[in-house]
Amino acid sequence: MAKKSFVLRIDESLYKSLEKWASDDFRSVNGQIEWLLHQKLTETGRLKKGTDKEETKPDNKKPS
How confident is the model at residue 1, as a pLDDT?
79
Q: How confident is the model at residue 62 (pLDDT cuts 50, 70, 90)?
A: very low
More confident site: 25 or 50: 25
Domain positions in the chain? 13-46
Q: Write down the mean pLDDT value for the chain.
A: 84
Non-local (6+) Cβ contacts of 55 within 8 A are: 49, 62
Alpha carbons 12 and 30: distance in angstroms, whole number: 15
pTM for the model: 0.71
Q: Give the pLDDT score at 48.
A: 81
Report pLDDT digits (tens) over 8-35. 999 999 999 999 999 999 999 999 999 9
